[in-house]
Amino acid sequence: MAVTTLSLERGSRHVPPSCTTLTPLTVAPTVLPSFPRASAPRRAFMQVLIVGSAFGAIACAPPGASIAREGSFSGALGMASETKTVTRRATREEILTWGAGTYIDRILADRDSVLDRWPNRIADPIRVWVESPRILGDSTFDGAVRDAFSEWVDTGIPLRFRFVDKAADAEVRVTWVTSLPNKTGSTTWRSSRDGWLRFSEITLATHMTSGRSLDTRGVRAIALHEIGHMIGLSHSTDGHDIMAPLVRVGDLSSTDRATARLLYTFPAGRIR
């Protein structure tokens, strides 16, 4: 069975994300070491997707703020029921109370109590450019990435995506490389001081570091995870979630969906 394994590393300016497994496994979860959190107002989080070759495992890494916040992790669709937004800023206690059954606590911990998210973008979809994977010899990956965006839209968050033909017109750019050192994907983002996301760039590899090629399922799983970071999610501690450091699923879990909807219930910014 193919296993997608995500490994996460966090430093003062780097916080790794998680990865995905495409089929159910009976593998003991990896215990990740804890790393010191960034105390500076500006943080960068790097997501790394490391792909192991023994079981075709894919591993990945998470997310992260001055005047403009920046982060790095290690990339119009159908309508869904809209998430209702709370206009006032909630307290940490309220968020954690409402967040039972989600990993919203991990977002607060990883991002120094700041909620980073995109403004509601239903009437004005976020513009996404996906580089043609044909430059690397595979035309099927484009559909896998678009499908991953669609799955996040179907969670009910107030975001829609519109694919554009030019990179210069995009707010989110997805590019391809043959391989990356010890990872298969990465995401960077920029937001305002108040945590409103403005731009993101996702890089996806078509091959593991070992040279082994990824199939469409693997690319879709990596894209789902990286897009999760792009919309503002951190890692989950549950291996059944797409955002877990050790990913064992190929689709979003009910917890992934609930966490995304909860994040988009509140305005961006620092939580008291």
User: What pLDDT does 197 receive?
Assistant: 98
30 or 269, which is more confident: 269
94-143, pLDDT tens digit by residue?
899 889 999 999 999 998 899 999 999 999 999 999 999 876 666 789 99
What element of type H or E holds 163? strand 159-163
Residues of the chain above pLDDT 70, percent: 65
Domains within the chain, CATH numbers bracketed = 49-270 (3.40.390.10)
pLDDT at position 44 over 50: no
Least confident of 15-29, 53-67, 115-129: 15-29
CA distance 89 to 186: 31
pLDDT at position 164 over 90: yes
User: What is the number of other CB atoms lying within 10 angstroms of the CB of residue 150?
Assistant: 13
User: What pLDDT does 224 receive?
Assistant: 96
- The CA-atom distances, in angstroms, between 180 and each of 108, 109, 205 are 29, 28, 6
Q: Please give the mean pLDDT across all residues of the chain.
A: 74
User: What is the number of other CB atoms lying within 10 angstroms of the CB of residue 181?
Assistant: 8
User: What pLDDT does 86 receive?
Assistant: 56
CA distance 265 to 116: 12
User: What pLDDT does 61 receive?
Assistant: 45
* Model-wide pTM > 0.85: no
Longest dimension (CA), the chain: 50
Lateral strand order in the sheet of 121-130: 68-73, 185-192, 197-205, 172-177, 121-130, 159-163
> Among 33, 51, 65, 34, which residue's Cα sits nearest to residue 210?
51
212-250, pLDDT tens digit by residue?
888 899 899 989 999 999 999 999 999 999 998 766 789
pLDDT at position 67 over 50: no
CA distance 224 to 148: 5
CA distance 244 to 249: 9
